Amino acid sequence: MKVKKQHRKKKYLHKLNRKRMHHKLKSTGTVKSKILKEAWNNKKSSYRNLREMGLANDPNKAIKIPSFKQEKLQIAKKIVKGDDTDSEPEEPVPRRKPPKIAVAKELEKEAKAPRERRFMLPKGQVEFITYLLDKYGHDYKAMARDKKNYYQETWKQLRAKVKTFMGIPKQYGEYLESRGLLDKEDDEEKLKQDVKNLIMDDSD
């Protein structure tokens, strides 16, 4: 007995833009990097664009991991043929320099450039750390014995948390300002230097 296929009743939805949906499905996304965007040629494929810039489309093909099985097969073939196994390997054919190699160098330079730290501690952790600083100052061993140390963190763990908090100028600056320990005229560079000095003093 043949099973009859259940055909769902198709409805034409006027609210959908079929052309826009097609473009969205076909699109591979926009190039966010400014360096790549300027050198990108929309008439060429992504593989060719990246190859011309000196970049790899597939890392597995660019950096091949030697196969143990293939190496042993090649040695076995040489032994069967009677070739000298200690012969020097053939030198690889030098590849042509990519025309847009400057793009790869610019990306490498951009990746190595220092970035602004955007890490921020959660509100709960800031409240806990500021509570400890207000009560004990920098006496970390006394902090470890506090009743609010629910997770039984050691004094070294608490010291690391305080150092992390002090290393965030925005949050630590707000704390100092709220306690009247920082003037509004103090600039961010001075605050960073003061924080660095405090961390160096506490490292002993």
pLDDT digit of tens for each residue in the chain (204 aa)? Answer: 555 565 666 777 888 898 888 888 877 677 788 898 899 888 888 889 999 998 988 888 888 787 888 888 888 888 888 765 455 555 656 678 889 999 999 999 988 888 777 889 999 999 999 999 999 999 999 999 999 999 999 999 999 999 999 988 889 889 988 988 776 555 566 566 666 665 565 555
In sign, the C-alpha dihedral spanning 83, 85, 86, 88 is positive
Residues 136, 187: Cα–Cα separation, whole Å:
27
Residues 49, 85: Cα–Cα separation, whole Å:
40
Q: Are 54 and 103 in contact (CB under 8 A)?
A: yes
Q: Are 161 and 125 in contact (CB under 8 A)?
A: yes
| 72-87: burial string, b at 16+ Cβ within 10 Å, e else | eeeeeeeeeeeeeeee
Instruction: Give the tens place of pLDDT for each residue, 27-38.
Output: 767 778 889 889
Kindly give, in sequence order, each residue whose CB lies less than 8 Å from that of residue 104, ignoring residues fewer than 6 positions away. 53, 54, 55, 98
What's the pTM? 0.47
Q: Are 116 and 188 in contact (CB under 8 A)?
A: no
Q: Are 175 and 121 in contact (CB under 8 A)?
A: no
Instruction: Give the tens place of pLDDT for each residue, 8-53.
Output: 667 778 888 988 888 888 776 777 888 988 998 888 888 899 999 9
Kindly give, in sequence order, each residue whose CB lies less than 8 Å from that of residue 195, ignoring residues fewer than 6 positions away. 166, 167, 169, 172
Residues 163, 142: Cα–Cα separation, whole Å:
16
Q: Are 56 and 50 in contact (CB under 8 A)?
A: yes
